[in-house]
Every structure is written in C-alpha cells, then in structure tokens.
Amino acid sequence: MPFSSSISSMQGAGIRRLLIVSGDTDWHQQVIAEILPTLRSPLLWVGESAPQEVRSIAPHLAKGLLGQELGHVVFNAAAGFHAEALAAVLGAMSAGHWLILLVPDWEQWDSQPDLDSLRWSEQPEPIATPHFVHHFQWITLEQPEIAIWKKNSEKEIPALKPRPEWLRPNGLPTTEQTHILHALLNDKQPINVVIGERGRGKSTLAGMLAERVKGKCWVTGPSKMATQVLLQQGDGVEFYAPDALLEQCRQQAPKGIDWLLIDEAAAIPAPMLRELIAFFPQVLLTTTVQGYEGTGRGFLLKFCASLPSCRTFFLDLPMRWAISDPVDSWLKSLLLFDEPQEPQVEAIEFQSKKLSQSEWLSCPKTMCDFYTLLTSAHYKTTPLDLRRLMDGVGNHLYGSFAGDVIAAALWMVDEGGLDEPLAKAVWAGERRPKGSLVAQSLAAHGGQWQAAALCSRRISRIAVYPTWRRQGLAKSLVISAIQQAQEEGLDFVSVSFGYTPELYHFWQQCGFELVRFGTHLEASSGCYTAMAMLPFNAHSRSLLDKLRLRLRRDGYFIQEKLKLQLPVEVVKDLSLNHDDWDELHGFAYFSRPLDVSIYALIRCADKLSNSVDAYALKDFLNEGNNIELLCKKYNISGRKALISILRKAVSDFIKHSEK
C-alpha cells in the first residue's frame, strides 16, 4: 500500500494531503484500521468513535488548538460537518501530514440529516444540507491531488505534481518578518498591527520582537495555550490574562514595560483592547483576518480604523507548509476564505433581483460572490453563516448587479410566528427558542410578548462594494426587500446593528424607527446594539407605539448610565404606567431578569414601604447595582439569594398597591 511511502514525499515538498473516506461506519473502521499503523507521528481524532489508543477531542473544542502544531488528523464528519472545527484543525496542522476526513456515502450524503445543523438551523430536528454537500463535492473534485476512497472502489492515492524541495523554516526571520522587525525596532510607532492567515508566523514574529527589544515585554492573549509559540520564542516574557492585566493596570499604571504584545487580538473584546493599549508606550497586536473566528475582518474594519494612529503590516507567505499546499487551497475554496477582488467594472445602471438557495447549484459563482461580498464588509461572518446561507430555512437573498457582477448584497431571515403560550414564556424569561434575534429580544427585553408572536423578517447582513457606495444601492435594495415582505403579508421588518450615528441615519432613511438600545458594548465592534423596526399593519404599529414609548422613558436612564445622547427624545417620567406594572409583575412572579426590569424598579423605588426587603432594593439601586456590596451588608449568600429578596420586595409592593 503506497500510503506510508507518500508521507516522505509530502515532507520533502512541505505539503499536507487530504484523504476523504466516503461510506458507512463499517467502511470507515476498515480503512482506519489499515491506515493507523502507518501513521507514525502523534495522531489527533476530532469527533466521535475514536479508537481507545488515539487522542481525541470533540469538534467544539477544536478552537482550543489555537497556537499548537498538529501532525496527522482524523476528522469524523460522518454524522455532522463542523466547518469551524475543520478550519481550526487545519490551521494547526503542519507540513508532511495527512488529514483523513470521514464523510457519508458520496451518492446519498446530500439527503442525509446533518447533526451539525442543530447549531445553526432554527429547526427542531437535524436537516439535510444538499447545497453544502454539492459545493463540497464540486470543490473537492476540482482538486486532482485529493484522494477519495469510496466503498467498493479502488483505494488509490493520486500522484503529486512536481514541486521544488521545501526549505523548512530554520528559526531565522523570513524576508517578510525581517522587514517588519526592522520597522518595529527602528521606526517607533505606539500601535502596530500584524495581520495574516493561519500559519503565517505572526506569533513567531512577536516572539522574535520580544527577543530583540532592549526593554521588557508583557504578553496577553485569549488564552495562555494560544500564545505558546510566542512565549517559546521570546525568552523571559511574562503572560497575563487580558482581564487580569486590565484590572492590574487600572489599579496601578505599569512602569518600565516597553512593549505589550497581544496575540490573536481580534479574539479579545474591542472595548477591553482599547483600554489596555492606552497603558503602554508601544503595542504589537497580531491577528487573523480570515478564518473560522469571523472576527479578524471586523478588527481591521472597525477597531484599527477607529484608532488615531495605527500602523498595519501583513504576512502573506505560509511557514507551516509550502505555498503550493493542496489542503490550504482546498479549504480556502470550500469555506470561501479568499478575499474578494473588487470588480473593475464601470456601471451606471444596476439591476436588483432576488436570489434563491438553488442558485448554489445553478449559478455557484454568483452565490460565492454574494457570500464573499458579505464577508468583506462584516466582522461577524463565519463558516457557520455559510452553512446557514446555503441550507438554512427562512432565508431571503437579494443582490444588485452591474451586468453579471454583484455590486450589493442583502440577506434577510424570517422571524417570530411563535404561538401565544411560547411567546409569553419568552417574555417571562422562561423560554428562549433558537432564532428570531430581534423578535425575541423585543419580547424578552422590550417587554412586549406580541413581538415574538407576530410574523416578521430581519435584515441580517447588507454590503456594498466600496466603488459603488454613496449611489443609493443599499437603500434601493432594502426598499425592494421591504416591499416584498409587505406584499407577502408580514407584520413588520426589523434590523439589529452596532449603533453609530451614520448607520442609524441610513436605517432611518429606509423608514425604520429605533425601538431598543442596548447598554453593553458588543465584544467585536465596540458599539452598543440598536434595534429598529418598520411596521406594516395595525398590530405592528401598536407594537411600535409601545416600544417607542418605553424607549423614550427608559432612554432617560440609559443616557445617564452610558453618558451618551440617544437619537430619540427622552423624557424623565417616574410615574408607573401600564408597561411598568407588567414589568414589575414579570419580575416578582416570573423569571424576568433584574437588568431587564431595572427601570421599572427605579420608578417604584420611592413608593416602597419601609421593610427590610424594600431597603435592600433601594440600596441596590442607590449603590450602582453593586451586588457584592449588598450581599455583605445584608449577610446574603450571593446574587441568586439577593435577587430572591428583591423579587419579594416587589411582590409585597404589588400586593400592598392592590389593596
């Protein structure tokens, strides 16, 4: 069998290879039994059914492999295809090793339910994913160096095309790294960012910088394991977890620290990152622009662009494998990781049209262009979104085209339609079924259970190529989609976005009204979440009126808390209206969270009787919601016990008021 002899040629060429084993469980076990003895280096098994002697992890833990280097990998995708886990594993695999991918029978795969769909589909049961399967098969068959072993077929390994001998990295800086190190050491700038794909030597570069600087370096990152490559390279550098480091810096500004090195910076919440870098004279941030996390693009678009001074470097050449690595090429094509090339087309007229998921089969290039355009403009887009876009239920896709070239893309998803008992359970804080982001938020946080019962459609993503911005394409596309939703008899359309005045103005121009404003910064964008809706009928207009009034009244307290002017007229109203009484009942007798009911509690605080429980609630509000302080003062065991006391105080107030 030529399998073992293939490994030496792979090592010489600096590449990894892919073997797809397609068939039933018995076939998978038979092939694995033949292969295992020939794989000499440590083997990692991802997924179920691993032999006892083989190290294994569940797919959802694959992100923890960040910063490690792997040998051969068996990836069991027979029951479900976890795309992010696959990307994480391949980012850590080094040259000279095989990826053995177990998949269902090639001919029947497209009709088989995919257990992974339970993560991204809003359906209660696993669904088949024919569009992803056909895309997988089409991309795979385009790669002649991939081996596919089907049951009852010959087990052949395709010949490799000629490649030059690979020069394995020898520990010295590459040409790219040398250029960046020279700039960092000689042309001092306070904030520096190094961006590149997986395996490009970003962490190694940071370690080389730590070795060469004369002063002292501190290191932080999403986990100590993720920074192992950096720590091994840089001798004597100290690692701190991001939250612990920030707390330490707040208490006492660091002295004598010349550099802060932040590995995989995009995985750290932007507000924390922004505060951290202000404490250090020079900072190097490394991050991945494209990959399974879906955060690097937003890091470049949002975070770096928001800094007053930021110097950016790019690492393009791989270090863990050769440029011609067939697995790298296959993965980029499969998960559409390549950055889109902005079309060089002059256009005056644009045509808007609705797309369907079936076009992944009939017009795959159009749909690939649609997805990569969304990816280029949104920090949140991940392989999970690709799966949802291809096979999720309730998608509505629109594109604006200059000829056959896509200029703008819009993705909407159906929401709501819950039966009344379930919608009320969402309001009560007792249930939170999958999906319906805005509809359920308006029920759970906005206090209006009807929002989850009405049928709505949410704008999930929208993007326009920079060349064609400021020409009304996005607005035109949104208005067309709104008209179709209204014609279909929906109750309203909605959108959730990271608030900026410019974005709010755009949605306002499209007819949307603000109905909710979050008080916590989004981890990646560093913006507060805003939600807006556009009603179509009397039911949704009534909902809008209630939400609008609530935002006006709660907005007074939100402005005080955030020190931010809301884009709506707020009013200081300490009276208890019908909405407040509903909120108080929900807090006292159901499971509505404390932070959701807080403004109704503020309004009722000065109306409470003088009981111990009432004093606890008043103290809680006066002490800036400091739960730890209140627990000590009242000798309470913890948050749960404190909230029980607060619920009792409100319950007593309601009973007293009803007399």
Residue 411 predicted with pLDDT over 80: yes
Helix axes 420-427, 437-444, angle to 10 degrees: 60
Residues 6+ apart with CB under 8 A from 399: 352, 353, 355, 366, 370, 406, 408, 409, 410, 477
Binding-site positions for ATP: 177, 320
Q: State the pairing for strand pair 455-464/17-22.
A: unpaired
Residues 6+ apart with CB under 8 A from 37: none
**What pLDDT does residue 294 have?**
47
Confidence bin at 19 (pLDDT 50/70/90) = very high
The predicted model gives 81-99 an average pLDDT of 93
Q: State the pairing for strand pair 257-262/282-287.
A: parallel
Q: Which two tokens stand for residue 621?
A: 């509000």
Confidence bin at 264 (pLDDT 50/70/90) = confident
Residue 269 predicted with pLDDT over 70: yes
**What pLDDT does residue 523 have?**
64
**What pLDDT does residue 620 have?**
79
**What pLDDT does residue 234 have?**
53
- Is the Cα dihedral 195, 196, 202, 205 positive or negative? negative
Residues 6+ apart with CB under 8 A from 59: 46, 47, 80, 82, 85, 116
442-456, pLDDT tens digit by residue? Answer: 999 999 999 999 999
**What pLDDT does residue 221 have?**
85
d(CA 173, CA 176): 8
Q: Give the DSSP letter of residue 13.
A: H
At position 299, the amino acid (one-letter code) is F
Lowest mean pLDDT among 198-207, 233-242, 637-646, 648-657: 233-242
452-491, pLDDT tens digit by residue? Answer: 999 999 999 999 988 888 889 999 999 999 999 999 999 9
**Where does the chain hold its CATH 1.20.120.890 domain(s)?**
578-658
Lowest mean pLDDT among 222-226, 619-623, 654-658: 222-226
- Is the Cα dihedral 373, 376, 382, 383 positive or negative? positive
**Where does the chain hold its CATH 3.40.50.300 domain(s)?**
175-315
Q: Which two tokens stand for residue 41?
A: 């280096």
Confidence bin at 203 (pLDDT 50/70/90) = confident
**What pLDDT does residue 325 have?**
95
For 350-484, strand residue ranges (E) read: 351-355, 395-402, 405-416, 455-464
Burial class for 537, CB neighbours closer than 10 Å (0-12, 13-18, 19+): middle
Backbone angles phi, psi at 523, to 5 degrees: -60, -45
**What pLDDT does residue 512 have?**
98
**What pLDDT does residue 231 have?**
62
Q: Which two tokens stand for residue 644?
A: 């029980």
Burial class for 366, CB neighbours closer than 10 Å (0-12, 13-18, 19+): middle
The predicted model gives 296-302 an average pLDDT of 60
Residue 251 predicted with pLDDT over 80: yes
Q: Which two tokens stand for residue 439?
A: 């509809």
**Where does the chain hold its CATH 3.40.630.30 domain(s)?**
351-562
d(CA 474, CA 410): 8
Give yes or no for a contact between 210 and 237, defined as CB atoms under 8 angstroms apart. yes
Burial class for 199, CB neighbours closer than 10 Å (0-12, 13-18, 19+): buried
d(CA 476, CA 273): 37
Residue 336 predicted with pLDDT over 60: yes
Confidence bin at 1 (pLDDT 50/70/90) = very low
Binding-site positions: 177, 320, 462-464, 502
529-588, pLDDT tens digit by residue? Answer: 999 999 999 999 999 999 999 999 999 999 999 999 999 999 999 999 999 999 999 999
CATH architecture of 578-658: Up-down Bundle (1.20)
Residue 316 predicted with pLDDT over 50: yes
29-61, pLDDT tens digit by residue? Answer: 999 999 988 887 789 999 999 998 899 999 999
What CATH number should be reported for the domain whose range is 175-315? 3.40.50.300
Q: Which two tokens stand for residue 306?
A: 């928001």
d(CA 622, CA 611): 16
**What pLDDT does residue 48 have?**
94
Binding-site positions for acetyl-CoA: 462-464, 502
At position 261, the amino acid (one-letter code) is L
d(CA 330, CA 20): 12
**What pLDDT does residue 2 have?**
58
Residues 6+ apart with CB under 8 A from 311: 183, 189, 191, 192, 193
Give residue for tokens 């863990």: 320
Write down the number of H helices and E strands in the chain.
Answer: 27, 21
Instruction: Give percent of the chain with pLDDT exceeding 90.
Output: 61
Residue 290 predicted with pLDDT over 90: no
Residues 6+ apart with CB under 8 A from 299: 265, 266, 270, 287, 289, 379, 524
d(CA 523, CA 527): 8
Instruction: Give percent of the chain with pLDDT exceeding 70.
Output: 92
270 or 258, which is more confident:
258
3-150 belongs to CATH 3.40.50.11040: yes
CATH architecture of 351-562: 3-Layer(aba) Sandwich (3.40)
Reported as half-sphere exposure (CB side, CA atoms, 13 A), residue 351 has a value of 7
How is 284-323 classified by DSSP, letter by letter?
EEEE-SSSSS--HHHIIIIIIHHSSS-EEEEE-S-SSS-T
56-82, pLDDT tens digit by residue? Answer: 999 999 988 876 789 999 999 999 999
Q: Which two tokens stand for residue 441?
A: 């938020």
The predicted model gives 169-192 an average pLDDT of 91
Question: How many CB atoms within 10 Å of residue 144?
Answer: 10
Q: Which two tokens stand for residue 74?
A: 């068996």
Confidence bin at 236 (pLDDT 50/70/90) = low
Question: How many CB atoms within 10 Å of residue 609?
Answer: 11
